[in-house]
Amino acid sequence: MHRLLDVGLEQLTAMVYRMGEVAEKAINISIRGYVDGRDTTDSELEISEVLASMSVDVENKAFELIAKYQPVASDLRIINSYMKIAYDFERYGRYAWDISFTHKKLTGLEKCTDGADSIENLVEKVSEMVGKSVQALKDHDAELAKTLASTEKEVDELYFEYLDQLASTTAPNRCVMCNLLVSRFLERIADHTTYVGESIVYIVTGEKLSLR
């Protein structure tokens, strides 16, 4: 027999899954706009605000379940983890908007050839990580979540390699500033995917580990 708490947990799960889909969409729109030279600030601002509102809804739902049903430890593990994941998805949206805003104010990758290969590699790796984090959540796949650790290390290496390139670049200041900021935003998104992965592993196995 289902507990009333189980119904609430199913609702909470659906809310977080939906957040993941919206967050992944936000990242994809933003980075493609940056690479292709399209202004996506208006759509990104709207999506970022939607994610912020969804995060509040998840938090309110979580507190409602705790207050009404006094969940046991295993239930609290799930509730707490979903609250953390919702925050990370909100950050996906915020960094996606930061990328779009930086592109609009400075320039885009299509006009800055110095270091373009490094940035595109970062884009590819981070896009992969975002997709994996959302898929691992939907499937409750702890093993897939754990694979984020190795990709995150690759992202860090690419980021630091790009910083080294900047030391000798002759690119215009505007290009340097834009690509530096965007590479940093991408690196931070990658970090948040590992936080999501850690929460997924905790939900599925009860194991607390660091994927960074």
| Domains defined for the chain, CATH in brackets | 4-205 (1.20.58.220)
Mean of the pLDDT values across residues 144-155?
96
Mean of the pLDDT values across residues 173-182?
85
pLDDT for residue 113: 66
pLDDT category, 142, cuts 50, 70, 90?
very high
Mean pLDDT estimate for the chain: 92
What pTM was computed for the model? 0.94
pLDDT for residue 145: 98
Q: Are 189 and 94 in contact (CB under 8 A)?
A: no
Q: Is the pLDDT of residue 107 over 90?
A: no
Q: Is the pLDDT of residue 110 over 80?
A: no
How do residues 14-67 score in pLDDT, each as one tens digit? 999 999 999 999 999 999 998 888 999 999 999 999 999 999 999 999 999 999
